[in-house]
Amino acid sequence: MPRLHDFGIPDRGNHAWTLDEEASRPILRRAIEAGINFFDTANVYSDGTSEEIVGRALKEFTSRDQAVIATKVHGRMRPGPNGAGLSRKAIMAEIDASLRRLGTDYVDLYQIHRFDPDVPIEETLEAIHDVVKAGEARYIGASSMYAWQFATMLHVSEANGWTRFATMKNYLNLLYREEEREMLPLCDAEGIGVIPWSPLARGRLTREWDAATERSRTDEFGRSLYEHTADADRRVVEAVATIARERGVPRAQIALAWVLAKPEVSAPIVGASKAAHLDDAIAALSLILSDDEIRRLEEPYAPHPVIGFS
């Protein structure tokens, strides 16, 4: 099942394109009515307002028992050395703040948003283990980092008997497949659930190469992800368009079906800025690409510089 997040007050925090509460609520409601039950947010998204909006909507539209709530820690919330990162002090402060904003006494999945090279791995792992033992998180996950960093963390948690990561949220889509080299095989070998972010390349896989939307015009982070490989990327986008035309479905369904076809992937984290986007996300679940279609989608790909880890 695709999972969801795109919500936060636009003039708070890092993304000018996010939807405010009034615009977010109908999408969240429709998602719940359609059976989507997993919602991904982060302390840092829109300066905490994403957690507030998601928390209030879930309370109204579903029960805590039905909802699977994921949030993250690492991004900068305040100035100073304790206002970001994965120290014990930061983690303990941030889980409390996230629970307060979400209006719940536990999250289902607590994820480290990035690797923190300034903190000993043992300190981070013991702190998130303690968060689980305190009943504030049911499971823990990690997000974009080098595979060697994740492998080391898995080893250290096992050696100490601490809670093991259940998931890896990494950057994977038809325009960025570098994770196929190391991270996906590692997750497969270790039995880690893979829940990729930006499976539609932040919308680039859903429309004409030169088309712009309100989000794409202000998406600075998104722009930085695709500067280097424009020719090959354009041909991948054209391959998506061709197969979508042959199948008579929107491009988003083809791009999501490709992510879902990867055996290591549990579920992509889909960003929906319109309620109708949910229909494609759900339809993609039953769209099975043939081996030949997958070959044609993958054929134009050119390796990208490794990105998304900082």
Ligand X SMILES: NC(=O)c1ccc[n+]([C@@H]2O[C@H](COP(=O)([O-])OP(=O)(O)OC[C@H]3O[C@@H](n4cnc5c(N)ncnc54)[C@H](OP(=O)(O)O)[C@@H]3O)[C@@H](O)[C@H]2O)c1
List residues with catalytic annotation.
45
> Among 30-38, 119-127, 212-220, 231-239, which window interacts with ligand X (CB under 6 A)?
212-220
Q: Is 201 in the site for ligand X (CB under 6 A)?
A: yes
Q: Does 143 bind ligand X (CB under 6 A)?
A: yes
**Regarding beta strands 165-169 and 107-112, do their DSSP bridges make them parallel or antiparallel, or are they unpaired?**
unpaired
Amino acid (1-letter code) at residue 300: P
| Integer angstrom CA distances of residue 257 from 76, 189, 196, 254, 290 | 34, 23, 13, 5, 11
Tell me the closest approach of the beta carbon of residue 218 to ligand X, in angstroms.
10
By CB under 6 A, is residue 43 in contact with ligand X? no
HSE at residue 303, side-chain half, CA atoms within 13 A, is: 6
Q: Would you say 129 or 204 has its CB closer to ligand X?
A: 204
Residues 277-306 that bind ligand X (CB under 6 A): 277, 280
Pick the closest to residue 253 from 233, 271, 277, 219 (CA basis). Answer: 277
CB 156 within 8 A of CB 128: no
Binding residue for ligand X (CB under 6 A) from 99, 250, 267, 282? 250
Could you say which residues in the range 151-180 bind ligand X, by CB under 6 A? Answer: 169
Give the whole-angstrom CA distance, residue 303 versus residue 310: 19
The pair of three-digit structure tokens given for residue 44, joined into one six-digit string:
């840092």
Stretch that binds ligand X, among 28-36, 121-129, 130-138, 209-217 (CB under 6 A): 209-217
Among 213, 218, 229, 242, interactor with ligand X by CB under 6 A: 213
Query: According to CB under 6 A, which one of 24, 124, 206, 266 is a site residue for ligand X?
Result: 206
Q: Give the CA angle between residues 133, 114, 8 to the nearest 5°.
A: 90
Degrees (nearest 5) of the Cα angle 88, 114, 209?
160
Q: Could you tell me the smallest distance in angstroms from the CB atom of residue 239 to ligand X?
A: 17
271 contacts ligand X (rule: CB under 6 A): yes
- Using CB under 6 A as the binding rule, whether residue 270 contacts ligand X is answered as yes
Angle at 94 between CA 48 and CA 51, to 5 degrees: 25
Which stretch in 92-100, 181-189, 223-231, 270-278 sits in contact with ligand X by CB under 6 A?
Answer: 270-278
Nearest one of 99, 98, 91 to 131, comparing CA atoms: 91
Q: How far is the CB of 159 from ligand X (least distance, A)?
A: 26
Please identify, using beta-carbon distances, which residue of 16 and 122 lies nearer to ligand X: 16
Q: Which residue lies nearest ligand X, judged by its C-beta?
A: 271
SS3 214: helix
Task: Specify the stretch interacting with ligand X by CB under 6 A; choose among 89-97, 99-107, 151-159, 191-199.
Answer: 191-199
* Cβ-contact 162, 140 below 8 angstroms: no
Q: Which is nearer to ligand X, 1 or 122 (CB)?
A: 1
Residues of the shown chain interacting with ligand X in the complex, contacts defined by CB under 6 A: 5-6, 40, 113, 143-144, 169, 197-203, 206, 213, 215-216, 250, 252, 269-273, 277, 280
